[in-house]
Structure 1
Amino acid sequence: MKVFKSVSRALLAATLLFSAAAYAEVAVIVSASNANASLDENTISRIFLGKISKFPDGSQAIPVDQNEGSASRDAFNEKVLGKSSSQLKAYWSRLIFTGKGTPPKGVLWKNR
Structure 2
Amino acid sequence: MVRSRRWIWILFFGIAASIVGFFLLYPYFNPAPQSKPEPLPEKPYEYYIIHDEATGEILMYVTTVQVNVGDELITEKNEKYVVVEVVENKAYARFSQKEDVKKYLDQPNR
Alignment TM-score, normalising by the size of structure 1: 0.24
Which of 1 and 2 has higher RCO (CA within 8 Å, sep 6+)? 1
TM-score, L = length of structure 2: 0.24
In our comparison, the structure showing a higher alpha carbon Rg is: 2
Q: Which has the higher strand share?
A: 2
| Higher helix residue share | 1
